[in-house]
Amino acid sequence: MAHAYTPGLRVTESAVIRKRRILPIQGTVMVRVGQKVTASDVVARAEIPGKVHTVNIVNKLSIEASETKRFMKKKETEVVKKDEVIAENSPMIKWFKTSVTSPIDGTIESISDVTGQVLLREPPRPLNLLAYIEGTIVEVIEREGVVIECPAAFTQGIFGIGGETSGIIEPVAKSPDADLTPAEITSAHAGKILIGGRHASMAVIRRAIEVKAAAIVIGGIHDKDLREILGKDLGVAITGTENVGLTLIITEGFGSIPMARKTFDLLVGKKGRKASCSGATQIRAGVIRPEIVIPADHAGGPGGPEGERTGMKPGDPVRIIREPMFGRLGAIKSLPPDLTAIPTESHVRVLVVSFPDGSEATIPRANVETIES
Amino acid sequence: MADRPVNVVIATDCGSTTTKAILIEKVGDVYRQTFRGEAPTTVEAPFEDVTKGVLNSIQEIEELSGRKILDGEKIITPANGNVGVDIYVSTSSAGGGLQMMVAGAVAAMTGESAQRCALGGGAIVMDVLASNDGRAGFEKIERIRQLRPDMMLLSGGTDGGTISHVVEMAEYISAADPKPRLGIGYKLPIIFAGNKDAAKRVQEILGEKMSLEVTDNIRPTLERENLMPARHRIHDLFLHHVMQQAPGYKKLIAMCGAPIIPTPAAVGDIIERVAKKEQINVLGVDIGGATTDVFSVFQKVFNRTVSANLGMSYSISNVLAEAGLDNIMRWVPFDIDEQDLRNRIKNKMIRPTTIPFTVDELMIEQAIAREALRLALTQHKMLAVGLKGVQQERSISDAFSQTASGQSLINMMDLHLVIGSGGILSHAPRRVQSMVMMTDSYQLEGITRLAVDSIFMMPHLGVLATVNEKAATDAFEHDCMVYLGTCISPVGVAKDGEKCVDLKISGDLTVNESIPYGELKLYKLDVGKTAKLEATPARGFDVGAGKGKPLTTTIHGGVGGVLVDTRGRPLVLPTDKKQRVAVLTKWAKALDLYPELKR
């Protein structure tokens, strides 16, 4: 039998995290294998080619495209300054003279005698690739990037916005089912990763942005608040490049849903510790989930490597991820092998979940998520 | 091309999330699909080798069929008794499929031809660039730089036509120096299929920087589109460049007995074959989690479009964003709090593998599907058009009914068959739900036959057809198509209860009824059964022969039956919530659409 896919989010006290840090284009790797790095160290650098600007000489000088090169004052690859003359005609009467100037500081990329276009390029822009997590370089990929390894506590969210950041873990909510309130967020939270419970309203998020918090980690938010933060309705869950003033990570889903006790306890237990986090999410093709990486302090053990994901088994903790019991947590009681009819009349594979209050429910396997450690 | 003799075939489709394998065996003189298996696709970490998922799915078939197909990681060929297969073929859309950017000289002419060419080749078109697309040069360059396509297609100019516009586009591409999506250190493939007189200049500009292939012009004259040579080139480059960068594909290519083709190209191929064989107009749709593909053959012209962000899981939230809440709610036969509905849709987006558990949830998903299908067809109609820019000869009699070139080829009244595919249509708990979803979203007109792909095997059969057409056709007719029945939809508008159509049906089904306006009715007519229909529409209504004119034709049965839809065209639903719920509930009850409607 082929392996059954069990989607799940990792929540673990101790793991060895390996991060591939790759440049978007080839460049230079700045570190060597074995070197220790902090989250803000530059591990690789590349030069992103500058923006290209176009100038149509033919139109400006009223000439034929094939004559373009004859009227140019600058050649290809030559450096030019903004407002410097790059092409000029030489009429009999000086009064009719027309000059074309460069719109930018840069270089002449190409001159076309077919289209009469001159392309100018701005100087390259340096791109510094940061380590993002504290750890040791275990692999260098020539001209492309590195792999960093770090023993750490690690937890994933289900969805996030905003890019990579780092800060001190600061629990704010008193319990996983408590809502965050704006009054709880103060200027002392600047640069910190705030740990909430069940729900964060728009007012809470605004307040956190105002005090310059690095991130909020919360059980759920409402879709309408996400729309307000982004200024648009998010159609596809590909995020990480938003610039909204902080990184937002939701651990359970949309709505008002208590944070899983395990996630909450893990994060609260790391109060005061330095962590890296990212809201980047990509659900389709190459799943990326938002994450919080808390490097192990030196007193702690290195932890084990990421275990291979196996199928579900009785006793595994699960979270129900679809109505009508969305957000409830329980444990697998049994996994009936036969297809079972559900209220929609579909015949699907199901499992029986037992809840802490002793009740049970039969749920499609597709509608639960294991909480992985 | 002659069929390659085969008796046992294993075929896979490597999708973004699941790899599906089917076994096809010759039983007597007929090829039948006998077993299927599936496994998660393994292109992504931690496996990063597509063949692992392939082997897992084949292993499932081995277990179910008792046939030994694998020898370790090798497929045993040829077949000998209950061991091995004669050939292994595959399609692929894993890792986001084939993503292309295309460019032409004029947006409505060569730009559109290039778009049709890439879509027909199975690609997702990320953007269409053209000299007159309204963007300044630097904006075009920025756009090319931002996107990381797998491949580009540059067209432009008829043969002997413009050179400068084509060269201009080549200069922009050169300046942008785009990087491929997969593989950091290799040259991006680009096909030039434009004015042959510009080929030399294009070679000078792009030859060094990119992996340039020159092929026949896709628009040699304004009156003619010649897409096949460029489409073949797309498949070659897909196989030899793009797929070489994807994890495990080198191994997969070696395992296959025929070239791997992109999944949508294979589906398009099989739909084109059906239309050709039956001499009919066909509309095909594959509604997936992320995208919705629409295929059509009208007037023997094949078109494919892909709505890249209309789907039922990954892109479900985008359906809401594009259709708007009111358009979705108009199909839901109960009231629901807006915030609750929006949160539910977002939760499906972030947990795309979940399934509806309650009937209410099923109704909401099917309402969203109607809108995704509707929007995808609207987009398809815009691209499935006649060639623009063609000179038309007009006579005096045309003077008052002049039509511009580039009219849509999609005329719903001329449509003979709709084939639906994708989980929401293929696996609807009651088949009639699929029938009504397609009828609602496409607003079918006249007499239309409906079918669904039973287990999404059109891709497998599309690639198999390149090797053995009979095997593909047999399996398509016997195992792939599930005929739902026929829909009779008079076109016109009246008031509820007014006369709409008189039906006289004889043969395997007997009906002699006058159906008033505003009804949905379903009559049982099983798969394989036919009946003679004599439909006499009321004044102002058309069932295919013209307004008020009777029509006599043969109708086909299916697992749903014969659906009579007198709700009028265009179909307008009440805007008042109470009225809407009442009318939707009435129709649902008339068709026994859902198991319970107690509220």
For residue B352 the two structure tokens come to: 């795309």
CB atoms under 10 Å from CB of B389, counted, come to 15
What residues in B contact A223, CB-CB < 8 Å?
A: 339, 342-343, 345-346
DSSP-derived 3-state class of residue B53: helix
Identify the residue among A3, A16, A52 best suited for mutation to test binding to B, counting B beta carbons within 10 A and taking the highest.
A52
Nearest CA in chain A to B141: A52
* DSSP of B519-571: -EEEE---TT-EEEEEEEEPTT-BSSSSTT--EEEEEE--SSEEEEE-S-SS-
CB contact under 8 A, B37 and A2: yes
**Greatest CA separation found in chain A?**
99
The 10s digit of each residue's pLDDT in B404-415 is 567 788 999 999
Mean pLDDT of B320-344: 92
Between residues B552 and A50, the one the model is more confident about: B552
DSSP-derived 3-state class of residue A202: helix
Instruction: Please give the pLDDT value at position B398.
Output: 54
Contact A126, A45 (CB under 8 A): yes
AA letter at A32: R
Instruction: Please give the pLDDT value at position A3.
Output: 38
Alpha carbon separation from A95 to A57, A87, A90 (Å, rounded) = 19, 16, 10
pLDDT at B599 over 60: no
How near does any CA of chain B get to the CA of A233, in Å?
6
* Element spanning B469, H or E: helix B469-475
How near does any CA of chain B get to the CA of A94, in Å?
31
How near does any CA of chain B get to the CA of A348, in Å?
9
A185's CB contacts (< 8 A; 6+ apart) are A172, A194, A204, A207, A208, A211, A213
Identify the residue among A114, A199, A257, A340 best suited for mutation to test binding to B, counting B beta carbons within 10 A and taking the highest.
A114
Task: Give the pairing of strands A291-295 and A329-334.
Answer: unpaired
pLDDT at B402 over 80: no
Facing A366 at nearest CB: one of B136, B314, B353? B353
Facing B315 at nearest CB: one of A26, A112, A235? A235
Window 269-298 of A: residues touching B by CB (8 A cutoff) are 281, 283-287
Cα atoms in the 13 Å half-sphere on the side-chain side of B428: 30
Peptide linkage before A324 cis (omega within 30 of 0):
yes
Q: How confident is the model at residue A5 (pLDDT cuts 50, 70, 90)?
A: very low
For residue B356 the two structure tokens come to: 């509806």
CA nearest neighbour of B102 among B111, B90, B89: B111
Report how far residue B282's alpha carbon sits from residue B299's, in angstroms, rounded to the nearest whole number: 10
A278's CB contacts (< 8 A; 6+ apart) are A132, A160, A162, A163, A164, A165, A240, A247, A290, A291
Q: How confident is the model at residue B392 (pLDDT cuts 50, 70, 90)?
A: low
CA nearest neighbour of B490 among B457, B456, B515: B515
CB contact under 8 A, A366 and B314: no
Angle at the Cα of B552 (from B547 to B553), degrees rounded to 5?
120
What residues in A contact B175, CB-CB < 8 Å?
A: 52, 109-110, 119, 121
Instruction: Please give the pLDDT value at position A370.
Output: 84
Report how far residue B281's alpha carbon sits from residue B302's, in angstroms, rounded to the nearest whole number: 10
Mean pLDDT of B349-365: 92
For residue B503 the two structure tokens come to: 């039906």
CA nearest neighbour of B109 among B201, B229, B218: B218
Task: Give the pairing of strands B282-287 and B417-421.
Answer: parallel
pLDDT at A237 over 90: no
A54 and chain B: CB distance < 8 Å anywhere? yes
Mean pLDDT of A21-45: 93
Most confidently modeled range among A56-60, B3-7, B210-214, B233-237? B210-214
What residues in B contact A129, CB-CB < 8 Å?
A: none
Instruction: Please give the pLDDT value at position A48.
Output: 84
Mean pLDDT of B132-157: 89
CB contact under 8 A, A112 and B361: no
What residues in B contact A112, CB-CB < 8 Å?
A: 167-168, 171
Between residues B395 and B323, the one the model is more confident about: B323
Report how far residue B286's alpha carbon sits from residue B318's, in angstroms, rounded to the nearest whole number: 17
Alpha carbon separation from B280 to B54, B418, B545, B550 (Å, rounded) = 36, 11, 17, 21
AA letter at B57: S
Beta-ladder partners of B127: B101
Q: Of all residues in chain A, what percent are helix, strand and coil, respectively (each to 5)?
A: 15, 40, 45
For residue B567 the two structure tokens come to: 């709700």
For residue B314 the two structure tokens come to: 């990954």
AA letter at B217: N
Provide the mean pLDDT of chain B.
90
What residues in B contact A318, CB-CB < 8 Å?
A: none
DSSP-derived 3-state class of residue A116: coil
User: B287: burial class by Cβ within 10 Å (0-12, 13-18, 19+)?
Assistant: buried
CA nearest neighbour of A196 among A213, A175, A167, A182: A175
DSSP-derived 3-state class of residue B10: strand
Q: What are phi and psi of B172, to 5 degrees?
A: -65, -45
For residue B255 the two structure tokens come to: 């395992």
Report how far residue A133's alpha carbon sits from residue A37's, in angstroms, rounded to the nearest whole number: 8
A308 and chain B: CB distance < 8 Å anywhere? yes
Q: What are phi and psi of B9, to 5 degrees?
A: -125, 135
What residues in A contact B340, CB-CB < 8 Å?
A: 255
Facing B357 at nearest CB: one of A234, A287, A342? A342
Counting residues of chain A whose pLDDT is more than 90, the rounded percentage is 67
Report how far residue B207's alpha carbon sits from residue B481's, in angstroms, rounded to the nearest whole number: 47
Instruction: Please give the pLDDT value at position B290.
Output: 81
Instruction: Please give the pLDDT value at position B395.
Output: 58
pLDDT at A70 over 60: yes
AA letter at B379: Q
Four-CA torsion B541, B544, B549, B550, nearest 10 degrees: -110
CB atoms under 10 Å from CB of A218, counted, come to 28
Window 177-216 of A: residues touching B by CB (8 A cutoff) are none
B78's CB contacts (< 8 A; 6+ apart) are B84, B85, B86
User: A215: burial class by Cβ within 10 Å (0-12, 13-18, 19+)?
Assistant: buried
How near does any CA of chain A get to the CA of B295, in Å?
24
Contact B114, B35 (CB under 8 A): no
Contact A318, A331 (CB under 8 A): yes
Report how far residue A194's alpha carbon sits from residue A218's, in angstroms, rounded to the nearest whole number: 8
What residues in B contact A366, CB-CB < 8 Å?
A: 353-355
A118 and chain B: CB distance < 8 Å anywhere? no
Angle at the Cα of B299 (from B295 to B301), degrees rounded to 5?
50
Counting residues of chain A whose pLDDT is more than 70, the rounded percentage is 93
The whole model's pTM is what?
0.86
Contact B586, B593 (CB under 8 A): no
Mean pLDDT of B386-394: 68
The 10s digit of each residue's pLDDT in A133-186 is 999 999 999 998 999 999 999 999 999 999 999 999 999 999 999 999 999 999
For residue B212 the two structure tokens come to: 């340039």
CB atoms under 10 Å from CB of B545, counted, come to 15
DSSP-derived 3-state class of residue B240: helix
Facing A52 at nearest CB: one of B138, B167, B350? B138
For residue A75 the two structure tokens come to: 């050649």
Contact B501, B488 (CB under 8 A): yes
Mean pLDDT of B272-298: 92
B226's CB contacts (< 8 A; 6+ apart) are B216, B217, B218, B219, B220
Mean pLDDT of A339-358: 93
Contact A119, A54 (CB under 8 A): yes
CB atoms under 10 Å from CB of B12, counted, come to 32
pLDDT at B291 over 50: yes
CB contact under 8 A, A159 and B345: no
DSSP-derived 3-state class of residue A4: coil
Report how far residue B458's alpha carbon sits from residue B456's, in angstroms, rounded to the nearest whole number: 6
Residue count of chain A: 373
Contact A369, A321 (CB under 8 A): yes
CB contact under 8 A, B351 and A7: yes
DSSP-derived 3-state class of residue B133: coil
Report how far residue B280's alpha carbon sits from residue B85's, in angstroms, rounded to the nearest whole number: 35
**Number of inter-chain CB pairs under 8 A, A vs B:** 191
A77 and chain B: CB distance < 8 Å anywhere? no
Contact B511, B503 (CB under 8 A): yes
Instruction: Please give the pLDDT value at position B122.
Output: 82
